[in-house]
Structure 1
Amino acid sequence: MDSQTQPQGFNIAGLLNDGAQVVAAAQQLPEPVTRIRSATARKQDAQSQAPLISLLGPLMQTPGITVLVASPGNGKSVLAVHIGDVISSSKTHLLGLPCDVEEKVLLYDFELTDRQFEKRFADFPFTDKMLTGDMNPAALDALDFTFDQIHADLDRTGARVVIVDNITALAMKNTADADVSMGIMRGLKRLQIERGISSLVLAHTPKIPDTVPLHINHLAGSKHLSNFADSIFFIGRSVTGPNVRYIKQVKNRNDEEMPGVLVFEITNAPGYLDVRLIGPDEEFNHLAREEAPRSEKSEELEEKKRKLWETDWGMKPMREIAEALDASVGWVCKWRPLKPSSN
């Protein structure tokens, strides 16, 4: 086709240039989000990767994402420091749970001031592998704490385990926001996959009655927090003593969940707050007993009144009557002259 018969606007040079740009653009396409492998190839790839190693028995393994959940004042910050210590020292157990590695730990503490931290752990024998990070007073007007900052801190410290107290430091918005929680867990997952980093993040629960067993749904925030985590465990407050707590695992992606609960006590050792193992138990033994519904109480009261009227109280001491009815002497004195209705 000569130039006289070419359609108006047709340009071979431009078409060739556009084609070259399309090819160049195709070559610069980003890597796909997913990897496609056969199941056999995936198993073979796994054999070249680092094995799962216990950092705190079944509660925390490396590499992985662990969430520690508790209501305020239940001791999660104290326990997190002890977890960081056992990982960063030559100690092999904490609360009877094995730690099979010794790694450098970076604890981000956005809860305590220096004075408060010193008061809690004044004479605690930390090793040089236990590092802490907090907000730099000279950079309070800087951007928010981000995962880019964590990556930079890992580069300059060489830490292999990250503890964040608490998860709200990674997002200035409510973690119940799905986009916020998804961003946090994706950031932790990136640390795990790209760098082999294990993370422990502390999170809150809403107020839970002391009669209710702890459940994964008590984790405050979006479902994404629990969906991405490899392990989740709670600290509950026991009714058996003011300083007695118990640990309950509610998720373990790598193995069976820890059975029952693990009971411990927060104690004042010379110069620091310590955690002392009491032993395994069942959660039921550490919950308050739920009172009977009001309707059941009313029926029970009426039944006691009937039994009182039928009792030969004129021949028996009131204390004996009270014991027979599982009531107080004062209650017997109050209701003794009243005959219950026959309805």
Structure 2
Amino acid sequence: MAADKKQNRKSPSEETIKALGNSIDECWNELNNLPQKEFPPVQVGEIISSTWNNASGKESETIQPVGEVIQEQPCDDLDSILGKSINQSMKEAKNKPVPTILWGDDGNGNGLWYENELAVLFGRTNTGKSIYAVQIAEHITKNLNKGVLYIDLEMSMKQFQQRYTSKDSRLHVWSELLKRPEMEKVEWALDNPEKCLELLRKMLDTLSVKILILDNLTFLVNNGGMKPEDVKLICSKLCEWAKEGYSILVINHTPKIPPFTPLDLNHCLGSSMLTNFVQSVFAIGTSSKNPSSERYVKQLKSRNGKIVWDESHVLPYTIDKTVDPTMLQFIQPGKSKQNVSSPNPVQTARESDLLQNANNLLLKEIRRYHEQGLSNRQIAEELNISPTTVGNKLRQIQATSNEEGDNQDA
């Protein structure tokens, strides 16, 4: 029966098809002439449902977002980027000023730290990182006449005062352009990287200062320990500031490494993320010739210039107050009172030469701890080396002692 009905159906005539098409066109024209209504940005997978409100007699819409917002992007910035040729961009860059060298100028346009960049200075504990950083701040404020905000998260103002006071109680006189706030008064912000960064930005803006020295990075992370997510947050923010025209030097530690180890980028704490963010990296090492007072500075990364202070040309220093009794500072050999404040180095050395006695010093320290009755593991913890290394060195010491005894018997 159904088959019979299907066979008896007639195809629509051409007049019917034409009339239907005219009706569709009229409906479409009416829709196009309706007032346009603006809708909020639509999200991927978003559901828009309509309901009738009996009280108001109007239709209302409910939006249920289930994805990321798709918003129209302005084309102005994109057009300005794509509309330039590489030659035109290079000509414009040529007319921009070359970044000022803030520290470590070699006299040929290369340095350790440049203006408008994020840099890192790192080293082992008790190598004088803070002393060197304060010396940099002193140079920038007095010789370059630029303001510096120095954030010291380790030393109290009393400790700082004692360090920069002569034996006859004379205080060092600083430039008024150097600002060192007492951070112990804002301890509420020191255990949270986001709060501390917000506080630092407010300080910079209030003082109208564009140069920041942060001493040190490990105090900005939770529980005093470096975490990758904290490093990423801090450095990404500081990188944004550098792009805005700020110059930032961050002081950082090394993980536990043996003393007198040649320095490289992997020795910077949090190096997997930190050194990728920054433009310049330089480090302080301890000379094995006189570990109590002799140091050297080694350049490890530079994007604005050449690396000139490498392992073959490290900068040797002695830490003392001989030039200025109120100023504990790094002094290069041959520096006089007249030129000590200049950042231009006059002498270099090979890192290997400054570490050539390292093995003998390590053996001496291991022998001393061993004679005090410490175990191999305890000695390893004291010297930041493995217990296996301690055992090997003790056998070396014993073999040397036996040879000396045989020579005396002969």
TM-score normalized with structure 2 length = 0.61
Paired residue type of 1:277: Q
Of the three residues 27, 37, 41, the one matched with 1:17 is 37
The answer for unaligned runs of 5 or more in structure 1 is 91-100, 306-326, 337-343
Counting only pairs closer than 5 Å after superposition, residues 262-341 of structure 1 correspond to structure 2 as 262-268=315-321, 269-278=324-333, 279-287=347-355, 288-290=357-359, 328=404, 330-333=405-408
Counting only pairs closer than 5 Å after superposition, residues 171-320 of structure 1 correspond to structure 2 as 171-172=221-222, 177-194=227-244, 196-241=245-290, 242-257=292-307, 258-259=309-310, 260-268=313-321, 269-278=324-333, 279-287=347-355, 288-290=357-359
Distance 1:225 1:14 in 2: 58
Name 2:203's counterpart in structure 1.
153
Name 1:164's counterpart in structure 2.
214
Q: For each residue in 1:88-139, what CA deviation from the matched residue of structure 2 results, as whole angstroms up to 9, or x when unmatched?
A: 013xxxxxxxxxx321001011111111011112322211001113426267
Paired residue type of 1:261: V
Name 1:131's counterpart in structure 2.
179
TM-aligned CA deviation for residue 151 of structure 1? 2.5
Distance 1:29 1:174 in 2: 45
Identity %: 25
Distance 2:287 2:122 in 1: 15
Q: Is contact 1:70-1:76 (8 Å) kept?
A: yes
Shift in alpha-carbon separation, 1:27–1:17, aligned structure 2, 3 A? farther
Structure 1 residue matching 2:250: 3-state secondary structure:
strand
Shift in alpha-carbon separation, 1:145–1:331, aligned structure 2, 3 A? farther
Structure 1 residue matching 2:213: 3-state secondary structure:
strand
Shift in alpha-carbon separation, 1:182–1:16, aligned structure 2, 3 A? same
Q: For each residue in 1:47-66, what CA deviation from the matched residue of structure 2 results, as whole angstroms up to 9, or x when unmatched?
A: 35332111112111112111
More helix by share: 2
Of the three residues 100, 121, 128, the one matched with 2:164 is 121
Structure 2 residue matching 1:250: 3-state secondary structure:
strand
Structure 2 residue matching 1:26: 3-state secondary structure:
coil
Shift in alpha-carbon separation, 1:187–1:42, aligned structure 2, 3 A? farther
Paired residue type of 2:179: L
Aligned length: 294
Shift in alpha-carbon separation, 1:48–1:212, aligned structure 2, 3 A? same
* Structure 1 range deviating more: 135-144 or 183-192: 135-144
Q: Is contact 1:166-1:203 (8 Å) kept?
A: yes
Q: Is contact 1:175-1:222 (8 Å) kept?
A: no
Name 1:51's counterpart in structure 2.
98
Shift in alpha-carbon separation, 1:65–1:12, aligned structure 2, 3 A? same
Name 1:96's counterpart in structure 2.
none
Distance 1:88 1:53 in 2: 14
Shift in alpha-carbon separation, 1:262–1:14, aligned structure 2, 3 A? farther
TM-aligned CA deviation for residue 251 of structure 1? 0.9
More strand by share: 1
Q: For each residue in 1:209-233, what CA deviation from the matched residue of structure 2 results, as whole angstroms up to 9, or x when unmatched?
A: 2342111111110422111211111
TM-score normalized with structure 1 length = 0.72
TM-aligned CA deviation for residue 176 of structure 1? 5.0
Q: Is contact 1:52-1:61 (8 Å) kept?
A: yes
TM-aligned CA deviation for residue 179 of structure 1? 2.9
Shift in alpha-carbon separation, 1:129–1:141, aligned structure 2, 3 A? closer
Q: Is contact 2:156-2:184 (8 Å) kept?
A: no
Name 1:318's counterpart in structure 2.
none
Distance 2:206 2:120 in 1: 25
Which structure carries more relative contact order (alpha carbon 8 Å, separation 6+)? 1
Distance 2:299 2:219 in 1: 24
Paired residue type of 1:274: Q
Q: For each residue in 1:245-294, what CA deviation from the matched residue of structure 2 results, as whole angstroms up to 9, or x when unmatched?
A: 11011111122212421111111342342221123111112213437995
Q: Is contact 2:294-2:318 (8 Å) kept?
A: yes
Structure with higher Rg: it is 2
Shift in alpha-carbon separation, 1:281–1:333, aligned structure 2, 3 A? closer
Distance 1:155 1:18 in 2: 40
Q: Is contact 1:105-1:131 (8 Å) kept?
A: yes
TM-aligned CA deviation for residue 244 of structure 1? 0.7
Distance 2:256 2:40 in 1: 63
What is the RMSD computed on CA atoms of the aligned residues?
Answer: 3.9
